[in-house]
Amino acid sequence: MSIRVEQIQKRFGDFTALDDINLDVQEGQLVGLLGPSGSGKTTLLRIIAGLEKADQGKVLFHGKDVTDLDVRKRKVGFVFQQYALFRHLTVADNVAFGLRMLPRKERPARSAIRQRVHELLDLVQLGHLAGRYPAQLSGGQKQRVALARALALKPDVLLLDEPFGALDAKVRKELRRWLRHLHEQISVTSIFVTHDQEEAMEVSDQVVVMSQGRIEQMASPLTIYEQPASRFVFDFLGHINALKGHYDGRRWQAGNAQLRLTTEGACPNGELTLYLRPHEADLSKTPSDSANLPVKLGARSVFGGTVTLELEALGWPAEVMEVELSRDAWQALDAQPGDTLFVHPRQLQTVTCDGNLGPRVTPA
Amino acid sequence: MHERPRHWHQWFLIMAAFAAIAILLVMPLALIFTEAFSQGWAMVQQNLTNPDMLGAIKLTLIVTLITVPVNLLFGILLAWCVTRYEFRGRKLLSTLIDIPFAMSPVVAGLCYLVVYGAQSVVGNWFSGMGVQLMFALPGMVMVTVFVTCPYVARVLIPLMESQGQHEEEAAIILGASGWQAFLYVTLPKIRWALLYGVVLTNARAVGEFGAVSVVSGLIRGQTLTLPLLVQMWNQDYNTVGAFTAAGLLAAMALVTLLLKTVLEWATQHSSDNATEQKTEQDTP
Amino acid sequence: MPLLRTQHSVLPGFTLSFALSVLFICLVILVPLSGLAIHVSQMSWAQYWGVITDPRSLASFRVTLLAAAGASGINAVVGLLLAWVITRYRFPGRRLMDALVDLPFALPTAVAGLTLSALFAANGWLGQWFEAVGISVAYTPLGIMIAMSFTSLPFVVRAVQPVLEDLTPDVEEAAATLGATPMATFTRVILAQLMPALLTGTALAFTRSLGEYGAVIFIAGNMPFETEILSLLVNIRLDEFDYAAASALASVILIASLVLLFGIQLVQSRLTRRWKGH
């Protein structure tokens, strides 16, 4: 079932939670709503579910207007952030709840309900815990019970609010792979809310980046990363180094640091900020013709295959920079803390003085 | 947080606390039963079977049995309304309910006398219908409802506020009607607190003195509840009788304390369960 | 009632629960209160002023206020002590002590009054010791104070206890590492943080004491001008069928307690907002 959101507006008092939201979700897709807290992503999810009413705009399921349709009739499955499991019911009774609430003539027989609950618990690999109470489960298990409960009524749409928010790092990772896998099995149109970039990028078919009640970009994870539509999106996807300086049409300069850039006239002369992703630069002990960014090597941290280095600008104004090297490159460099090194950006994102994204450039 | 006391000044504080409890609470309690039994068991039995005593017990039970269900129902409605919806005047509503706590019971009784007494328009209309409100059972029930109406709501509101409404929303999404969501989801979550509120309401309803004394008219054998009987017999210099009635009420108070402790434990225990995390390793 | 609602909720039942709650509050609380107000407003200002400034009324104001203030003072100290001991130390009888603190709420006030008057009578278990040093308790203002502090004891304990439980030891440890003496830690760190709760509890105890009736009349002796509290005077005027005087006096207690109630709630919500940061 496809989902379409048209011109949704929502205010809470003076605060604009959602401002003219338009969204199209194809049937069977898994879409991640990504944004910082307060960006309106949870409100949007609750409006799609029917838990919240928009001030303006429409929600359509498969082309049918459901804006004023009662929650109970929307056929949505919803997984709450803190799971909202019924604490006084066992795992099996939690999953069976929706089936038992059906009007008598639609309600399956007891044995059929038991059968269905059994299937669902097997699907989420919790068959052995059917008799437990929510308080006796771990966070990850509760999460899966909540999912099974939401799937019990065979919803057309599955909505998940920060599904992995309350879990620790290791469990999160395992659980999101599992969710991806589960979605491939049952392929129900799904939307989930997250503030974790990695999570959104790994799990979703499409990512919707939100900020301050607006959609900044909606695209596949790869497009979002390689062609961010706005400065906010670029900023939000992982750490960046911002280098502030001056551009004269050929050279970018900040103090005694300089880069030779060709922007083919896309950037006007004057103030120009460059964004550098930590993994898009090399280090060496000598400057080159195109790049002269002297830095002093500070702390380093080794994790897995990469080494993260803290670099202090030498003789030009910049915040402490962060650059990631592969372990091999780090060993080849053979540097000690305190050494003077030179940064060689492989790719830079320009940000013009009006705050918009310019072209991506390579020093040459 | 809790530590075993180590220093002498810590023991001194504990001893001082015990002394305060003994003087302020335990001795008054012990005295009630000592006085009641001072003339022997036969006298206690005689007092307990006195028609005035039996009448007072019966009247007290009637007043309580009407008051508690009324306030139970109202308390649930108010708590539901205040904790489940956002609306203008929400704060005001939950403040107004506190008024009976702050008011002198005598003033409460007076207010009812002024509005529902025989001289008033309402009271006049009722007496025209042949119903006497004040100086009779209806008035006593009315003031008791007034005095005890905050208890259930006050116990439920903070609990329901802290529990939030996601579970109810989940039930609604799963197709439950509002009534089903309340019955199958809310009620099981608040049952201990509800019982706790009932115990408190009950204790106050049985023991209310000031407000009831104003509207009861103190007619012997007709409008005396147990606390009023205590006063009446005390004025008659029937000290043992007064202490026997007091002993009954004190026994109720002790049962109340016991139930209260058990229910507090139960409420805490069930909410601990809800927040408890991680009891088993994750095996996705 | 879409006009009233500021936010949508999927839970049904707003109209029903709102309408019934408001109806109940109106019938049970607001109508009787406004009845009293109307009754009082029918008096002329001179009449009203006459009742209130009558020497007997003034004496009863004085007795009630002084006794309530004294009782609240006692309870601030004893209540803080009990709350501290119950939350801080583990010792045999702690749970029993915790449960017994609520006895004054559970015990009918008439029963409390009866037993306290016997306990502190000149020949009573405790009264005889006071008598030996020349202090009469029963049938004096001192007795009133004791009865009031009995019935309002739990307020301070129950207000302070949760705050004390939330005070984590690390704050005290931090103070100690910064060189504070135990006494300074207590007054500057602990007491300072307990202050709002302690004040709230004491104010609640004071409000309750102002209106206390049942426990007091047994032990007070009820001598006009000396040991007659305001609530009793209201009741006496009622027995004389002087509804006007009774209402005028009642309005004074009522206004005082409502001001205290709303004042306490206002201060509390301010403080929670400041401390919780929103």
Angle, helices B8-21/C55-88, rounded to nearest 10 degrees: 130
Q: Give B277→chain A minimum CA distance, Å.
A: 6
For residue range A52-76, what is the model confidence (pLDDT) as tens digits?
899 999 999 999 999 999 888 889 9
Share of chain A above pLDDT 70, in %: 100
Answer yes or no: do A138 and B188 touch at CB < 8 A.
Answer: no
> Average pLDDT of A176-194?
90
Kindly list the partner chains of chain B, i.e. chains with 3 or more CB atom pairs below 8 Å. A, C
Residue B6 has phi, psi (to 5 degrees) of -115, -40
Question: Do the domain assignments include residue C245?
Answer: yes
CA distance linking residue A302 with residue A309, whole number of Å = 9
Beta-carbon contacts of A343 under 8 Å, excluding residues fewer than 6 positions away, are A276, A281, A282, A283, A291, A293, A295, A311, A321, A323
What is the pTM (predicted TM-score) of this model?
A: 0.84
List the subunits that have 3+ CB pairs under 8 angstroms with A. Answer: B, C
Say if C217 falls within a structural domain: yes
pLDDT tens digits, one per residue of C136-155 = 888 999 999 999 999 999 99
Q: Which of the residues A9, A52, A71 would you substitute to probe the C interface, choosing the one with the greatest number of C C-beta atoms within 10 Å?
A: A52
Sheet of A76-79, strands arranged across:
A76-79, A157-161, A189-194, A30-34, A206-211, A214-219
Q: Chain B: residue nearest C17 by CA?
A: B77
List the CATH number of the domain containing C135.
Answer: 1.10.3720.10
Residue B208 CA to chain centroid, in angstroms? 9
Confidence grade of residue B271 (pLDDT, cut at 50, 70, 90): low
Instruction: Give the closest of C102, C153, C254 to B107, CB-based.
Output: C254
pLDDT band at B281 (very low <50, low <70, confident <90, very high): very low
* Chain A (34-73) residues lying within 8 Å, Cβ to Cβ, of chain B: 49, 51, 71-72
- B101, B106, B215: best to mutate for the C interface, most C CBs within 10 A: B106
Residue B277 is predicted with a pLDDT of 37
Q: What is the pLDDT of residue C275?
A: 63
Q: Is residue C34 part of a domain?
A: no
In this prediction, residues A158-179 reach a mean pLDDT of 87
What's the alpha-carbon Rg for chain C, to the nearest Å?
23
Q: What residues in B contact A51, CB-CB < 8 Å?
A: 169, 173
The answer to whether A135 contacts B273, with C-beta atoms less than 8 Å apart, is yes
Provide the number of structural domains found in chain C: 1
Closest residue on chain B to A143 (Cα): B284
Whole domain around residue C131: which residue ranges? Answer: 44-276
Distance CA B210, CA B67 (A): 17
A contact set with C (CB within 8 A):
12-13, 50-53, 71
Residue C18, C-beta contacts closer than 8 angstroms, at least 6 positions apart: B81, B85, B87, C1, C4
Can you tell me the mean pLDDT for A317-323? 87
Q: How many CB pairs under 8 A join B and C?
A: 303
Contact assignment for A141 to B280 by CB distance below 8 Å: yes
- For residue C1, is it within any domain? no
Q: Does B274 touch chain A (CB under 8 A)?
A: yes
Contact A50 C8 (CB under 8 A): no
Q: What are the pLDDT digits (tens) for B239-255?
A: 999 999 999 999 999 99
Calpha distance A296→B149 (Å, rounded)? 72
Among chain B residues, CA nearest to C152: B24
Kindly indicate the confidence band of residue B276, based on its pLDDT and cuts at 50, 70 and 90: very low
In chain C, residues 21-50 whose CB comes closer than 8 Å to chain B: 21-22, 24-25, 28-33, 35-36, 39
**Cβ of A102 under 8 Å from any chain B Cβ?**
yes
pLDDT at B45: 92
Distance from CA of A191 to the nearest CA of B (A): 16
> A252 — phi, psi (to 5°)?
-105, 135
- pLDDT (average), residues B193-215: 93
Is C7 inside a domain boundary?
no
Structural domain contains residue C203: yes
With beta carbons less than 8 A apart as the criterion, state whether C75 and C155 touch: yes
Domain membership of residue C37 (yes or no) is no
The answer for A 170-209 residues in CB contact with B (under 8 A) is: 171, 174-175, 178
The per-residue b/e assignment along A143-166, b for 16 or more CB within 10 angstroms, e otherwise, is bbbbbbbbbbbebbbbbbbbbbbb
Residue A198 has pLDDT above 70, yes or no: yes
The C-alpha atoms of residue A117 and residue C87 are separated, in whole angstroms, by 46
Q: Is residue C22 one of the residues assigned to a domain?
A: no
Using an 8 Å Cβ cutoff, are B95 and C265 in contact?
Answer: yes
Cα–Cα dist A143/A153, whole Å? 17
ipTM of the complex: 0.89
CA of C7 vs chain A CAs: smallest distance (Å): 8
Confirm or reject contact between B96 and chain C (CB < 8 A): yes
Residues in chain A closer than 8 A to B167 (CB atoms): 84-87
* A286 and A348 Cβ atoms separated by less than 8 Å: no
So what's the pLDDT on residue B157? 93
